[in-house]
Amino acid sequence: MRLPNLLATKNGRLTAFFLLYITEGIPLGFAATAVATRLRRLDVGPAEIGAFVGSFYLPWAFKWAFGPLVDVFASERLGRRRGWILITQVLMAMTLLSTVMLDLPQQLGLFTIILLFHNTFGAMQDVAIDALACSTLQEDERGLANGMMFAGAAIGMMVGGGGVLLISGITGFQATFFIVAGAILAVTAFVVLPMKEAPGPLRAVVAGSKLAQAGREMKVFAVDSFKSFLGSPGAFGGLLFALLPAGAMSLGLALQSNLAVELGFDDDQVGQLNLWSSLFSAVFCVLGGFLSDRFGRRRTLFVYLALMSLPVFYLMTELSRYGWVMPVSTTAENRPAVPAALVTALWVSGLVYAAFMGLMYGTRSAIMMDVTNPAVAATQFTAYMALMNLAISYSATWQGIAIEAWGYPTTLMVDGIFGLACLLVLPWLKRMEGAGYTDVRGPKRARGLATGLGVLCLAWLPYSYFSPMFGAAKPIMGTLFTVIFIGSALFLLAGKAVLGVAGGSAARIGAWIAPLLILMYARYFVDKISGWVGSSGWTDVAQGVFMAVPVVAGLLLLMLGTQSWQQMLAQPAALEPDAEPLAVPA
């Protein structure tokens, strides 16, 4: 039987992108819910689980870097986008199946590394799918397609999370790896293989290597994104908004499944909680978008984000009332009796939170489009979505650490309060009518951002000396500095591309320091690396480097803060008409 080419008809295209987005959601739900639940049941601590979930989102935070690779390294025979989708889906299945025989939790480190590669292929697939959608969907199909793509991702996360947990009671957990991989390959076989991508416009012959061409496209992306982010108050507000958590996040990450296991939920019950939460979120997502169109996006988003903290504070109060503060080992003898009221509180808070989160998701992408410059729409919107994934990553990481250091109630309190910080930025998320998407304050914003990041990098020096004073909060401060280092590295790289020779030695040296800032994450593994190297002296050298790199970066950023940044006044180059953003999940 010859399978149909779904791209040939409107209904086929909608079905194809719905199913393709299911393959994106399944691995995320599998890791963030099913695997996280399994790890907690094996008595892995919340900090390790938080780091695992946080690392899983990291490739999505840097998916913008895959765009030039997908554009340049394309096969006309397989299809420019179809070829990438085909290859990445096969690699996703292969990497997932390679973890079946790993012994958890003893080999959690290797398991995390393999799944990091798995999700890197997933992020590459996302870039290729979005590019295919931009070039394939008709103008009057894109609104409905966006909704179906989001629904597909939500259903995929529901299947990969709650669905897998429900099935694992019948098949055993190891067998679910084959089920998840099989679901991905089923879409490959029945959707991607029969798909026939229309030939794109003729491409100019690449001068030199394709890798160099990809590098040039990344430079263009960096310049356009940088200018767009700082080109107007709305776009700059969007940058800050994307970097902050979109409301309280704890009940949407691993904390919920961690607590469910401790409260005695079996896999079926965790799966049911996840399934109902996903359904609530999907339904209220549609309602949130409808209400935002009727009553205004900023007004409704303000309400949605504020409401997300209420179920978090409610669960915090109930946990404190019944004395369930610190995480309880799943293998401990004489474990405390679980009050029925806490089980009810987790169900109520989880479902109410899912509803409010759905309302928020139905509006957030639309408001980011409002502050996106149409001239660089695909570039700027992709960058916003990537930064939002970075916020999810660091939130999962710090919350896992905080649970072990402070306990559940305090973690929930901090999350509920910190989740409200984005409300301070909401007034900026608008474009002044008639003002366009750029203004004359771009250079001033660039100088201010450089100075601010420089001061934060220099704060690493006194923090390093006084870090013992932070006690249990020390790991959380470390996560905060990691985010600062990543942001500073991206600024230095983009700043060099924007300023060019006018940036002088500060911009030149900064481009070399940027990779070292990203490698600052290796400071957590100094002892392990010293064991591999077999030299105790290496530890002293490494500690010295880790102390010096942020200081040098801070000084360079302060120097860049004195530049004129007149290059910011130039309009970014326009993209092709088919490069419009899609309001899809980050």
Q: Whole-number mean pLDDT of the chain?
A: 84
| Residue 203 pLDDT class (50, 70, 90 cuts) | low
What are 19-58's pLDDT values in tens digits?
A: 998 998 888 888 888 999 999 999 898 988 988 888 888 8
Rounded CA separation 361/168 (Å):
30
Does residue 248 have a pLDDT over 80? yes
- Residue 471: what pLDDT? 77
φ/ψ of 578, rounded to 5, equals -85, 5
Give the pLDDT score at 273. 93
The CA distance from 306 to 247, in Å, is 7
Which three-class secondary structure string do you get for 96-155?
A: HHCCCCCCCCCCHHHHHHHHHHHHHHHHHHHHHHHHHHHHHCCHHHHHHHHHHHHHHHHH
Report whether pLDDT(445) > 70: yes
The pLDDT-based confidence of 575 (bands split at 50, 70, 90) is very low
Question: pLDDT higher for 290 or 519?
Answer: 519
Q: State the pTM of this model.
A: 0.81
Measured CA distances, 80 to 83, 196, 200 (Å): 6, 11, 8
Which amino acid appears at position 278 of this protein?
S
pLDDT at 200 over 70: no
- Is 50 exceeded by the pLDDT of residue 249? yes
Please give the average per-residue pLDDT across 469-491, as a whole number.
86
**Percentage of the chain lying above the pLDDT 70 cut:** 89
259: its two tokens = 């607590």
What pLDDT score was predicted for residue 143?
A: 63
436 pLDDT tier (thresholds 50, 70, 90): low
pLDDT at 525 over 60: yes
| CA atoms of 97 and 93, how far apart (whole Å) | 6
Q: How far apart are CA 266 and CA 460, in angstroms?
A: 44
Q: Could you give the angle at the alpha carbon of 27 between the alpha carbons of 24 and 29, nearest 5°?
A: 100
Sign of CA dihedral 76, 77, 81, 85: negative
Confidence of residue 561 (pLDDT cuts 50, 70, 90): very high
- Report the pLDDT value the prediction gives residue 218, as an integer from 0 to 100: 72
Structure tokens at 45: 């601590």
pLDDT in tens, 332-363: 788 888 999 999 999 999 999 999 998 888 78
pLDDT above 60 for 224: yes
Picking from 430-444, 481-495, 557-571, which range would have the lowest pLDDT averaged per residue?
430-444
| Nearest residue to 377 (alpha-carbon basis) of 87, 574, 114 | 574
User: 425-452 burial, b if ≥16 CB within 10 A, otherwise e?
Assistant: bbebbbbeeeeebbbebbbebbbebbbb
Q: Which of 192-196, 229-233, 456-460, 498-502 has the lowest mean pLDDT?
A: 229-233
